[in-house]
Chains A and B, each alone.
Chain A
Amino acid sequence: MSTTSAPPRPRRLLFGNRPTRSRLLRGLAKHSVMIVTLTLMLYPLLWMFGASLRPDNQVFNTLGLWTGDLTWDNYADGWAGGGQLNFSRFFFNSLTITVLSIVGNLIACALTAYAFARLEFRFKKPLFALVIGTLLLPYHVTLVPQYILFNQLDWVGTVLPLVVPKFMATDAFFIFLMVQFIRALPPSLDDAARLDGCGHWGIFWRVVIPLSVPALGTTALFTFINTWNDFLGPMLYLTEPDAWTVSQGLATFLDATGQSAYGSLFAMSTLSLVPVLAFFIAAQKLLVEGIATSGLK
């Protein structure tokens, strides 16, 4: 005896099984998801901004964004830093170190990457492996030897320990990034330039650099973010308040063993994000332009 079973009844879909043809509905759905996601991502930032506008002893009163008492005092107090310290000085110091670090990384890493990508020389592979190997070395392992070295050079208390290494191609990640990028450039461009009389410097400067704008932009962007946010390096080497960076200035508002100034901390933290956001927006444009003009599409 054979039994036949009834075909399973198709499940009723709650929202239908075909995308709607309405562009309006599709747009609404897409934008709703994006707005919700964006709100979730931005909420901590918005809360910080809201907290920066509350009186110091009301900062933690609410998880909401706004309360009745709004004040700009935290910005004035935080910027003045209690009289002895001043955030305009910290911003200037951070900017100086960041600009020098970007210049150093761009020059040194690009030159090193060109050498590894285009030149043939003895021990190239072991040297490249050595450079890449430094990526595996945590910063804390070299912290004390570096400090002793810079102390013997009498560099402690100056920006030199933070800036000079950048001119010596010590950021292996950026070297690797640029080596990979330059290797992808057609070698025939080098040959053409060589026929036109260019040496290595000419090829590097006239051919490789203009075509490497996206990699240079990425290097500059990440160097900016890393240097601007760096705390450990400046804390070790920039001990006197006159030389402090923004990240050090922010740390002075907090101490677990005493009284903290959260209102000022959030106010100055908000301001310290402005250069990072501005640079990101500028570098993002640079990246797009670089890709569009270098024929890499």
Chain B
Amino acid sequence: MQARGRGPRRAGARRVVAGSLAVLCAAAVAACGQRLPDHSPEELGGQGEITGDIRLSWWGSGTRNERTNAVADIFEADHPGVRVSRETADFGNYFKRLNVQGAGRNMPCVTQLQARTLGDFTARDVLLPLDPMIESGAIDVSDIPDAVLDTGRGADGKLYMLPTGAAYDALLVNETLAREADAPLPEPGYDWDDYIDFLSQAADGLPEGIPATSLRGGLPNFFIAYVQGLGEEMFSGDALGFSEELLIGYWEMWEEIRARGLANSPTANAEEPPSPEASYVASGDVLSDNRPGNALTPIQGTLDGQGQGHRMTSLPLPSGPAGSGNVLIASGLSIPRNCDNVPTAAAFIDFWANDPRSGDTYASDNGAVTNTTLLRRQLDDPDLPDLKKRELALYQRIVADDPPNVVYPPGYLAVFESAFTRAYQDVAFGHQTVPEAVDTFFAEANAGLAR
């Protein structure tokens, strides 16, 4: 039996706790002190032998995974000394993992990013600028339009992500239902008033229980189109760039749409699954919706499964006095500072962005290919499905309008998007008035983005 003395025990307990904490702190400090590779100027310019292992990561599912693997296989076949390890996950989980990998300085050498998330990584200085690699000729960007290339720049103007696919949001409309409702589709260059007129006209002729639109007052991408159409700034550094009055006007417009019975209920809206296949517009339960342009194919597929012969079409988002509201949401490839094989990573990015075999194989699976030559090849490809061609053609129309570039601040997805959606839900469910919700949103978003 041990002696039972309270005094020495307490002192001992303190020692154990202190010792444990010291060990934990030492481990944490040691871990945080993980060293980064010391890149030579040649390596920073993407110059060097193309050999060895690199890791490639991207987000996506079934077909996108197959296509990405096929592109990586071609690159490996071209460079026998290279092995490309592949890492994939769906969009949400991909960025969860990437954040942890970034904190652990273990990001894959070729990391797919999106313009909306780029700020999270440039703010932590975990990415290499690609400008020296472009200057050295390791990466060729001559076929990528400047407006598209700029979507890969950080707040300091350096290029941290080579945009390889450009997505956009579009107004998807069930053409068949619109025709049956005797509502002609909005003309090119239509504005928000035309949009509401279209919804009103359609609502009069739609069958009972099918609203003209999903309630999208809380959808950030729709609001971005509204702001851009007015020629206002979305962000000013790490703060909101538009006024409270502007957002009040926008949400009051949506409340009017809702009050007139043109949109579905907030409850139905909150219950809607995020994937295109399971959306209300895909089941023919609403006439129109704002969705990513590449959702046209899966939504049409689901409608086809119902066997009623409904046809979907996609239109640009409404314009404003300052022009088109559509912005491009580019996805692209980056090289993190922890990469120890920069020349091979640069060669892979150049291959992905410029090689015709890469473009043909990937077939604009994640946004329209940004290389104009590769885009032309796909549009000329007789085997490319018609819906895909329509998606690419709409991208061409948007690019031709010289879309404005939004530089998203760090924390955009985590702070801005969630706060925006939540604040509008408070309005739609009657928990707050529009001015109250706008106040709440501004306070929350500005505080979160400034952190």
Contacts and interface: CB of A to CB of B under 8 A. Distances in A.
Whether both chains belong to one complex is answered with: yes
Interface of A: 55-61, 82-85, 120-123, 125-127, 130, 143-145, 147-149, 151-152, 156, 231-232, 235-236, 239-241, 248, 251-262, 264
Nearest to A127: B16
Given A144-B104, A152-B34, A259-B297, A239 B12 contact: no
B306 interface: yes
B277 A262 contact: yes
Interface string B23-41: 0000110111010000000
Contact of B9 (A84, A122, A152, A254): A122
Q: Which among A84, A148, A258 has the greatest number of chain B C-beta atoms within 10 A?
A: A258
Interface in B343-359: none
Contacts of A241: 86, 88
B309 interface: no
Most buried by A among B12, B31, B55, B283: B31
- Determine which residue in A148, A235, A262 has the highest number of CB atoms from chain B within 10 A of its CB, and name it: A148
A260 B100 contact: no
Given A123-B9, A252-B61, A257-B59, A236 B85 contact: no
Interface of B: 1-2, 9, 12-13, 16-17, 20, 27-28, 30-32, 34, 55, 57, 59-66, 69, 85-93, 96-97, 100-101, 103-104, 106, 167, 274-278, 282-283, 292, 294, 297-298, 301-302, 304-306, 365-366
Given A235-B93, A260-B277, A262-B277, A255 B31 contact: no
Given A120-B1, A148-B31, 19 more contacts: A61-B306, A82-B66, A85-B65, A122-B2, A130-B17, A130-B20, A144-B104, A148-B103, A151-B34, A240-B86, A251-B89, A252-B88, A256-B92, A256-B274, A257-B292, A257-B366, A259-B301, A260-B276, A262-B278
Contact of B106 (A126, A130, A151, A232): A151
Contacts of A149: 27, 31
B62 A144 contact: no
Nearest to A256: B274
Closest 8 CB pairs of A and B: A57-B305, A148-B31, A255-B61, A126-B13, A239-B87, A58-B305, A255-B90, A148-B104
A57 B89 CA distance: 23
Contacts of A144: 100, 103-104
Nearest to A78: B62
Contacts of A130: 17, 20
Contacts of B31: 145, 148-149, 152
B12 A122 contact: yes
Contacts of B365: 258
A82 B1 CA distance: 64
A256 B85 CA distance: 24
Contacts of B305: 55-59, 61
B17 A255 contact: no
Contacts of B66: 82-84
Contact of B97 (A148, A236, A260): A236
Overall SS of chain B's interface: helix
Contacts of B92: 256
Nearest to A255: B61
A151 B91 CA distance: 23
23 contacts: A56-B305, A60-B278, A61-B283, A61-B305, A82-B62, A84-B65, A84-B69, A125-B13, A149-B27, A151-B104, A152-B31, A156-B106, A231-B93, A235-B93, A252-B61, A253-B62, A255-B275, A256-B90, A256-B275, A258-B61, A258-B63, A259-B301, A260-B298
B126 to A, nearest CB: 14
A103 to B, nearest CB: 26
B21 to A, nearest CB: 11
A123 B13 contact: yes
Contacts, number: 153
Contacts of B12: 122-123
A143 B96 CA distance: 11
Most buried by A among B27, B101, B277: B277
A12 to B, nearest CB: 40
Nearest to A126: B13
A148 B100 CA distance: 9
Contacts of A55: 305
Contacts of A82: 62-63, 65-66
B69 A259 contact: no
Contacts of B278: 60, 262
B384 to A, nearest CB: 15
A56 B301 CA distance: 9
Contact of B2 (A57, A121, A248, A259): A121
A122 B17 CA distance: 13
B85 A145 contact: no
Contacts of A148: 31-32, 34, 103-104
Contact of B61 (A152, A235, A254): A254
Given A123-B13, A261-B62, A251 B104 contact: no
A257 B91 contact: yes
A84 B73 CA distance: 12
Contacts of A122: 2, 9, 12
B302 A258 contact: no
Name the residue in A127, A231, A254, A264 with the highest tally of chain B Cβ atoms < 10 Å from its Cβ: A254
A212 to B, nearest CB: 25
Nearest to B89: A235
A57 B93 contact: no
Contacts of A259: 61-64, 276-277, 297-298, 301
A89 to B, nearest CB: 15
- With most chain A CB atoms within 10 A of its CB, the pick from B1, B34, B93, B365 is B93
A252 B277 contact: no
Contacts of A262: 275, 277-278
A258 B277 contact: no
Contacts of B86: 240-241
A76 to B, nearest CB: 14
